[in-house]
Structure 1
Amino acid sequence: MTAVSSSRPRVSPWVLSAFWFGSAFHWLLLLTILMPTNVVSFVGEAQKGTYLGALTAIGAVIALVVPPLVGAHSDRTGRRLPYLKLGVGVNLAGLAVMGVAVATLGGMTGFWVYLLGFLLVQLGNNYATAPYSALIPQLVPPELRGRYSGIMGMLQATAQLLGAVAGIAIGQLGLPQVVGFVLIALTLVVPAVITMRGVPEGDAPPARTGESMPWTQLFTFKPFLWVFITRVLFALGQYSVQPFLQYYAGDVLRQRNEVLSSSLMLACIIVASILSAVVGGQLSDRIGRKPVIYVAGTTMAVAALLLLLAPNFGAALALSVAFGLGFGAFTSVDWALGSDAMPSEKSYARDMGIWHVAFVAPQFVGLPQGQLLDWGNAQGGNLGYTLVFGIAAAFFLLGVILVRNVPDTRKAAA
């Protein structure tokens, strides 16, 4: 692996990670609070899991294709920020279409317009992500990547907390759903501008050292291969549960206000993840990435299983805290581990785009998991939730087991 030179100019981790703040708020509020509610209003209760799963799976097609292609083009031009600017613009257009569908349309007509807007959101966000992701390994030397990744994880978690709070406020105050889309748009734009103004193109020159691996050989590079596989598994665990958390609060925990209850659970997860994110990232610079992931992944798997046995809402909140501690530690190390596994500076954006696919493509699991949820619940006894949460835990545990295969590409700082 070609390492980044420590002499390369660096930018503040807060500025560099600002766009992740906006993007994290965006996806938390959209995927876990607004979309589940909106889908029910369009298609009804009986098919909510199937249609929500289908929506996320269709969006994942774009997330699968766009980042590697745009990343490769970014590597050829040596530019990063113009892609961020255009991608955010398309993202905002998609949010506007979704908001219009919710505010003015209903039934299946509204759903198809809503789907169109969601596809634009996915296109714009993923168009921006791959070139932007390349800034992290390009500008940050290996010995500081844990710290930078930890700050990025903390910003993401803080944004997710604000997204959960926004969801609570919308539900409790009875605000129109379109307010959520306006909040997402504002919170996406401001951090994006901070990053675009704080990271001039002159500080992010095209990386030209090292040899770029052909697409067909990229997965023969073992650090990249195993980091990709394990990230897929952790993402499968996350997306097996995340879209259906609101339904779980109502169907299993018997909460009358599902939006408020799921938002409180998310808030517990996120507050705990904020506490563990920076600590996990800095710790990984000293002891290595994998030990942190072992503990984090096991914690998430156990918490997911125990949620099935939660006797009441208070117990579910406590388990949410435990899950959040694991999730924050994992997030803090995730980007550092991925950056360490890049085979060449010459193809950072392309390779980070492919690596990003490992996180977004597993959204496809929403479709079969949604169908499994509806089928299982139709059998009685909340069987659907037992199957979905159990599968999520299995993904987390398999990720923990296989991360041991990731070769060490750097030595932990003494």
Structure 2
Amino acid sequence: MTALSPERPRVSPWVLSAFWFGTAFHWLLLLLILMPANVVTFVGDERKGTYLGLLAGIGAIMALVLPPLVGAHSDRTGKRLPYLKLGLGVNLAGLGVMALAVTLVPGLPGFWVYLLGFLLVQFGNNYATAPYSALIPELVRPEARGRYSGVMAMLQALGQLLAAVSAFAVGALHLPVLASFVLIAAMLFVPALVTLRGVPEPDTVVARDPHAPTLSWQQLFAHQPFLWVFVTRVLFALGQYSVQPFLQYYNKDVLRQSDPGTSTSIMLACIIVGSIASALVGGRISDRIGRKPVIYVAGSVMAGAALLLLVAPSFGAALALALAFGLGYGAFSSVDWALGSDAMPSQSSFARDMGIWHVAFVGPQMTSAPQGALLDWGNAQGGNLGYTLVFGIAALFFVLGVVLVRNVPERAHARAAA
């Protein structure tokens, strides 16, 4: 691969990653807090799981299909920021439709209006983030990508933490549901504006090689660094989604907490705080010693924490393990984007290839349903066997990710195919 021009602009990592802060706030508050509660108001408790699953399934399909397509179009036009602007506008419009449905349209008809709004949200957000994902490999020199990736991971964790605190405050103040939608829109718009005003359009400042190849999907996955980065990201995501959806049930059934919702919120806060603490440090360390050593440690810590949760003697011990898991997850996240950026094989298709790489994180979300069935089956056998199976599988995925990341060449960009 022909190297990118060294004359790249000096873009602040905080400005470059500001939009990730907004999207992290947006998705945590919308997916984990608002949507489950809103669905109940439309269809009642008896059908809430079915209709919430419908929303989640449709959203996951769109998140799988759209980013590679939009990314490929962005590569052809040579533009990134116009996609962010248009996607942001559609995202905000979708939030408006969802808020309208909740406040004005009751019952099942309201749900279908709500679904339309959610489709607009998914379309807009994925339309914006696919080309936006190309900015780190396009604008950041390889030796600085760990630091930039660490800042991005830290901002995402901060966005999630602020969203959790905001949800608690909205509930404590008994504010109307419309206030939450307005808050989400504001917290998405302002960071997006920071990025849009502070980041130059890449094609005006980065020399592009007109002869750089655009690889087919088959050629892309034949490129070993990309293939192994993709596979290991799938494994780490599978580990995460083997545990995360069932934490509230774990708090109730295993830890015997009387208020599992509050207990789960505290546990999630511990994970987020741990990830904030390690995200920036992990990225900087990876720039000095390489990406893979950080992943070895991070994945091992996550696997150990998942297993030890099964034998945690108390809620306090479980919180300590959650903090340890967060330290591992933050370190992994700080290196994740840097490793992915290093593995991009062609300068001419950054956005498409990053969109395909993003599928490795989104696709495993579809496994929550079979994992849930396994949990129920195992618990029906007695002795919380379901949690042993599901958490054990999570640890296995993390360990496999650690083992297989050895196949990724360090600084894969230097070995990329021409």
TM over 0.5: same fold?
Answer: yes
| Distance apart, 1:2 and its partner CA | 4.2
State the one-letter code of the partner of 2:326. G
Partner of 1:91: 91
Of 194-203 and 245-254, deviating more is 245-254
- Counterpart Cα distance in 1 of 2:110 and 2:390: 28
Amino acid at match of 1:282: R
2:348 equivalent in structure 1 = 346
Structure 1 length as normaliser, TM-score?
0.90
Q: Is the 8 A contact 2:292 2:405 kept in 1?
A: yes
Alignment of 1:105-124 (within 5 A): 108-124=108-124
1:288 counterpart (287, 290, 305):
290
- Alignment CA distance shift 1:294-1:198 (3 Å): same
Greater RCO (Cα-Cα under 8 Å, separation 6 or more): 1
Shift of 1:305: 2.3
Q: Residue 395 of structure 1 aligns with which residue?
A: 397
CA contact 1:50–1:371 (8 Å) conserved in 2: no
Provide the residue aligned with 2:60 in structure 1. 60
Listed as ranges, the matches of 1:204-215 within 5 Å are 205=206, 207-208=208-209, 210-215=212-217
Question: What's 1:6 paired with?
Answer: 6
Unaligned runs of 5+ in 1: none
Q: Report the CA distance shift for 1:71/1:42 in structure 2 as closer, same or farther (over 3 A).
A: same
TM-score, length of structure 2 as denominator length: 0.89
Stretch deviating more after TM superposition (140-149 or 246-255):
246-255
The CA distance in 2 between the partners of 1:312 and 1:339, in whole Å, is 41
Shift of 1:121: 1.9
Q: Which residue identity does 1:356 align to in structure 2?
A: H
Structure 1 equivalent of residue 323 of structure 2 = 321
Q: CA deviation at 1:378?
A: 5.6
2:299 and 2:328 in contact (8 A); partners too: yes
Q: Which moved more, 1:309-318 or 1:30-39?
A: 30-39
1:307 aligns with 2:288: no
Q: How does 1:215-226 map to 2 (within 5 A)?
A: 215-226=217-228
CA distance in 2, matches of 1:279, 1:337: 16
| Aligned counterparts of 2:114 and 2:382: Cα–Cα separation in 1 | 31
- Structure 2: distance between partners of 1:315 and 1:72: 47
Distance 1:380 1:184, change over 3 A: farther
Indicate yes or no: 2:175 matched with 1:166: no
Once residues 103 and 384 of structure 1 are traced to their aligned partners in structure 2, the CA distance between those partners, rounded to angstroms, is 39
Q: Is structure 2 residue 332 aligned with structure 1 residue 330?
A: yes
Deviation of 1:204 (Å): 5.1
Partner of 2:278: 276
Amino acid at match of 1:302: G
Q: Structure 1 residues 43 and 316 mapped into 2: Cα distance closer, same or farther (>3 Å)?
A: farther
Partner of 2:136: 136
Asked whether 1:368 is paired with 2:373, we answer: no
Q: Does the 8 A contact of 1:130 with 1:352 survive in 2? A: yes
RMSD: 2.7
1:232 shift after superposition: 1.1
Aligned pair in 2 of structure 1 residues 159, 338: CA closer, same or farther (>3 Å)?
same
Q: CA 1:378–1:59 in 2, change beyond 3 Å: closer, same or farther? A: farther
Where do residues 132-211 of structure 1 align in structure 2 (5 Å cutoff)? 132-201=132-201, 203=204, 205=206, 207-208=208-209, 210-211=212-213
Q: Is structure 2 residue 20 aligned with structure 1 residue 20?
A: yes
| Deviation of the 1:399 alpha carbon | 1.2
* Whole-angstrom CA distance in 1 between matches of 2:344 and 2:209: 14
1:129 offset after TM fit, Å?
1.0
Q: Which residue of 1 aligns with 2:406?
A: 404
* Unaligned residue ranges in structure 2 (runs of 5+): none
Distance 1:29 1:140 in 2: 30
Mapped to 2, the partners of 1:376 and 1:102 lie a distance apart of 37
What SS does the aligned partner of 1:308 have? helix
Q: Distance in 1 between matches of 2:101 and 2:255?
A: 31
In the TM superposition, residue 325 of structure 1 has moved relative to its aligned partner by: 0.1
SS at match of 2:169: helix
The verdict on how the C-alpha distance between 1:372 and 1:273 changes in structure 2, with shifts beyond 3 A counting, is same
Q: Evaluate the alpha carbon distance shift between residue 3 and residue 241 of structure 1 in structure 2; reply closer, same or farther with a 3 A threshold.
A: farther
Shift of 1:309: 2.8
With 72-81 and 262-271 compared, the bigger mean Cα shift is at: 262-271
**8 A Cα contact 1:157 1:273, kept in partner:** yes
Identity of aligned residues (%): 74
